[in-house]
Amino acid sequence: MGIYTDIPVGTNDGSITGRTGSNFVPLPHGSVYRALLGDFKYLVTSTGGRRAEVTAEIIEGEHAGRCIYDSINLLCASAKAKSIALEQFRALCIGVGNEALFEEVYNVNSEEELELLMVTKVPIALTNKIVEITVGIERGTNGYPDRNKIRAYRQIGPATAPSLPRLQPVAVDSTIVRPEWMP
């Protein structure tokens, strides 16, 4: 057990479903969007495991501003769930063009080392990156409605990445009087 096991890192009671006060109908299964990776959290699961939660905000089209979430169970009892999580995390790292980050996480020697990476290096490497996401629909359970989930990440190459608007030159008013101390 790690030195942080008695300190709650975070919880999600299932109430985080998108924008507050909105009831979104899930986007169609298999639809593809450009998205900005935002929040990255490393949370404690209800069973004491650890999961990464990634938020991707759609940045173009009719659904711009809508957030889709991905939950990656990196530490859990099930070997199958760990295998799925590693594939999800690998796809995310490749999607941002940083497969070396996956290799670093994959080769950690302890839960403590993993947690250190997940709360320091990983958020910096993954947030504020634009990727292409494919969404799926996850069936709702326990009274919660169906919701979207990220099913795939794809890197947007330099040729297809959205460009920032060019700054336009601004005319300078030469009648502005400068203080004596200003060169």
Which of helix, strand or coil describes residue 136? strand
Domain hosting residue 95, numbered range:
32-155
Residue 57 lies in a domain: yes
| 75 exposure class (CB count in 10 Å sphere: 0-12, 13-18, 19+) | buried
In this predicted structure, what is the pLDDT of residue 181? 63
- Average pLDDT, stretch 73-98? 92
Give me the number of domains the chain comprises. Answer: 1
Cβ proximity of 115 and 4 under 8 Å: yes
pLDDT band at 131, cuts 50/70/90?
A: very high
Residue 176 lies in a domain: no
Residue 138 lies in a domain: yes
Residue 84 lies in a domain: yes
**What is the residue-averaged pLDDT of the chain?**
82
Residue 124 lies in a domain: yes
pLDDT tens track for 39-58? 999 999 999 999 999 999 99
Q: With 60 as the cut, is the pLDDT of residue 37 above it?
A: yes
In this predicted structure, what is the pLDDT of residue 20? 42
Residue 18 lies in a domain: no
Q: With 50 as the cut, is the pLDDT of residue 180 above it?
A: yes
Residue 105 lies in a domain: yes
- Residue 72's contacts (CB-CB under 8 Å, 6 or more residues apart) are 51, 52, 53, 54, 85, 88, 89, 92
